[in-house]
């Protein structure tokens, strides 16, 4: 039987290593030393909030309050991944509730998407100023270090990467270090956290925006209402504050401050087929890190020297390839990734995992309220596999087919062990156990894929940007809202 991880953070798939202290503790009590008012109040210390707080507080004349529903990101042993299980079409969705948000956990992979997609923001959607050439200078400011491949697990460096080359996908160096990095460490390091004009409060949950509807024609947000319990995500917070589709607000008897049909709509998320699992040879896998006893030498090595297996981010390499643009991906990992990492490999068995992903979802999901109670979780429906032209299935099938070609490449096969042939798609090792992977019908792969598909935790879009107030929540300057 495979092992269950009670605390997902002890599973190296979910969380590689504790993060070193990056600044003074940020707690609700720390926020009590604060001012009666602020020039800026930022709700959420995730990917955007961390950067905004850092940049705005560079001006010592401006006061900034950063409110985070989760905890600090330092010396973490265990946390609640989200404090709620999202009803994502029967699939699990997790969010990183801490300083740095999801950038402080997951697989620690940073890359921006294809130039084509940024250019489409400007040419197709009218978001001028957001093309690749407009954004490239800011990418270059962040991307300053490209190391060698020397830190990679051998099965990745000499197996997966060469297997990708064998199927026509060239190697491209990327930015990686052995130290866990996030937007918290990049934009909220000790020097920033100690600024006298920056106040950071954790475990503070914003439940409502305070809006002045009387002073002028345009409603103005002048403050926030918060409690030291659970709060909402951005679209949920807007809906609870009276900003959103009229029908949704009226259904819950929420006074309408500003009707906006785009709030909570346009939800998009990266979907993966589930893991194509291969049986790995000893020495070509990291599954042993799930055992505290077996991991002790690696823990000591990381603590003393900052290297070793625990410096791995689990998803050490990824292949991007085209069906139309670079719209599908396969991540290679020298350990098991089963049921979102909550299940380990069978005792004594090591794995190499390939995770095929569709990068350009076509369907559009939605977030709606269940009640006007800020402590009642919303309904999140991503509408997987529902696009009219069936592009999501098509792209994901391409990703799976290419992953199977990588799997059977001789470069990767040298690190894998055979398993008994089994053509049952519901058996443990299928499709790796298939008698002829190339001849598996599309219909069988599609049924398997749809039954086992999982989210890669990248939901976006429910407060979308657009030049038109009729189809968006924020304008092209982002800090300004059409709401």
**75 token code pair:** 């010396």
Residue 206 annotated as part of some ligand binding site: yes
pTM, to two decimals: 0.69
Nearest to 158 by CA among 410, 417, 408, 402: 410
Question: What are the φ and ψ backbone dihedral angles of 446, each rounded to 5 degrees?
Answer: -65, -45
From residue 117, give the alpha-carbon distance in Å to each of 130, 142, 385.
Answer: 10, 20, 21
- Please spell the DSSP secondary structure of 288-345, one letter per residue: GGGSHHHHHHHHHHHHHHS-SGGG--S--EEEEE-SSSS-EEEEEESS--BGGGTEEE
Domains in the chain, CATH or no CATH each: 30-86+96-107+185-259 (3.50.50.60), 109-144 (no CATH), 148-175+271-360+385-452 (3.30.410.40)
Q: At what angle do helices 442-452 and 391-407 cross, to 10 degrees?
A: 100
Determine the number of helices (DSSP H) and then strands (DSSP E) in the chain: 13, 17
Using only C-alpha atoms, the chain has a radius of gyration, in whole angstroms, of 23
Q: Is 391 helix (H, G, I), strand (E, B) or coil?
A: helix
Q: Which residues are 390's β-sheet partners?
A: none
Burial class (CB in 10 A: 0-12, 13-18, 19+), 141: exposed
Nearest to 335 by CA among 9, 14, 38, 6: 14
First to last CA, the chain: 53
Are the C-beta atoms of 347 and 394 separated by less than 8 Å? no
Q: Is 33 helix (H, G, I), strand (E, B) or coil?
A: helix
129: left (phi over 0), alpha (psi -120 to 50) or beta: left
Per residue of the chain (483 residues), give pLDDT as tens. 344 433 333 333 333 333 434 444 455 455 455 567 888 888 888 888 888 899 999 999 999 988 888 777 665 555 454 434 344 444 555 667 778 887 777 666 667 777 888 898 899 889 999 998 998 888 877 766 555 555 456 677 677 788 878 777 777 654 434 445 567 777 787 788 888 888 888 777 787 887 877 777 777 887 777 765 444 467 888 998 899 999 999 999 999 988 999 999 988 888 877 777 777 777 666 766 767 777 787 778 777 777 777 666 666 666 666 656 558 888 888 877 777 777 778 888 888 888 888 888 888 888 899 888 887 878 888 888 888 888 888 888 888 988 898 888 888 888 888 999 999 999 989 999 999 988 999 999 999 988 888 887 788 888 888 888 888 888 888 755 554
DSSP 167: T
Are the C-beta atoms of 198 and 64 separated by less than 8 Å? yes
């Amino acid at each position: 039987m495979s092992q269950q991880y009670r605390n997902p953070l002890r599973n190296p798939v979910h969380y590689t290593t504790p993060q070193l202290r990056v600044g003074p503790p940020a707690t609700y009590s720390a926020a009590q030393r604060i001012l009666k008012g602020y020039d800026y109040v930022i709700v959420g210390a995730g990917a955007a909030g961390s950067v905004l707080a850092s940049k705005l507080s560079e001006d010592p004349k401006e006061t900034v309050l950063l409110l985070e529903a989760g905890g600090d990101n330092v010396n973490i042993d265990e946390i609640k991944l989200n404090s709620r299980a999202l009803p994502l079409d029967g699939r699990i969705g997790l969010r990183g509730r801490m300083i740095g948000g999801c950038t402080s956990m997951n697989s620690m992979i940073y890359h921006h998407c294809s130039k084509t997609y940024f250019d489409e923001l400007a040419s197709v959607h009218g978001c001028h100023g957001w093309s690749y050439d407009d954004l490239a200078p800011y990418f270059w400011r962040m991307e300053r270090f490209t190391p060698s491949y020397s830190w990679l697990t051998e099965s990745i460096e000499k197996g997966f990467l060469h297997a990708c080359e064998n199927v026509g996908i060239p190697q491209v160096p990327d930015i990686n270090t052995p130290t866990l990095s996030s937007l918290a460490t990049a934009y909220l390091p000790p020097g920033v956290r100690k600024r006298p004009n920056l106040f950071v409060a954790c475990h503070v949950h914003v439940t409502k925006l305070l809006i002045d509807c009387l002073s002028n024609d345009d409603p103005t947000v002048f403050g926030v209402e918060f409690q030291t319990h659970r709060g909402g995500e951005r679209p949920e917070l807007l809906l609870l504050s009276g900003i959103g589709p009229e029908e949704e607000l009226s259904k819950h008897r929420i006074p309408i401050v500003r009707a906006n049909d785009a709030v909570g709509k346009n939800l998009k998320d990266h979907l993966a087929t589930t893991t194509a699992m291969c049986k790995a040879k000893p020495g070509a896998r990291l599954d042993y890190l799930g055992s505290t006893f077996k991991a002790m030498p690696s823990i000591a090595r990381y603590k003393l020297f900052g290297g070793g297996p625990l410096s791995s981010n689990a998803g050490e390499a990824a292949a991007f390839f085209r069906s139309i643009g670079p719209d599908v991906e396969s991540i290679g990992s020298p350990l098991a990734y089963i049921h979102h990492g909550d299940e380990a490999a069978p005792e004594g068995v090591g794995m190499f995992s390939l995770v095929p992903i569709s990068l350009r979802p076509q369907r559009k999901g939605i977030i709606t309220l269940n009640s006007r109670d800020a402590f009642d979780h919303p309904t999140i429906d991503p509408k997987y596999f529902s696009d009219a032209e069936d592009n999501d299935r098509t792209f994901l099938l391409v990703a799976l087919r290419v992953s199977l070609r990588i799997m059977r490449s001789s470069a990767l096969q040298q690190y894998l062990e055979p398993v008994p042939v089994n053509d049952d798609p519901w058996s443990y090792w299928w499709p790796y156990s298939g008698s002829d992977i190339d001849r598996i019908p599309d219909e069988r792969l599609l049924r398997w894929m749809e039954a086992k598909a999982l989210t890669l935790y990248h939901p976006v879009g429910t407060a979308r940007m657009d030049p038109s107030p009729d189809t968006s929540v924020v304008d092209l300057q982002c800090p300004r809202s059409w709401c």
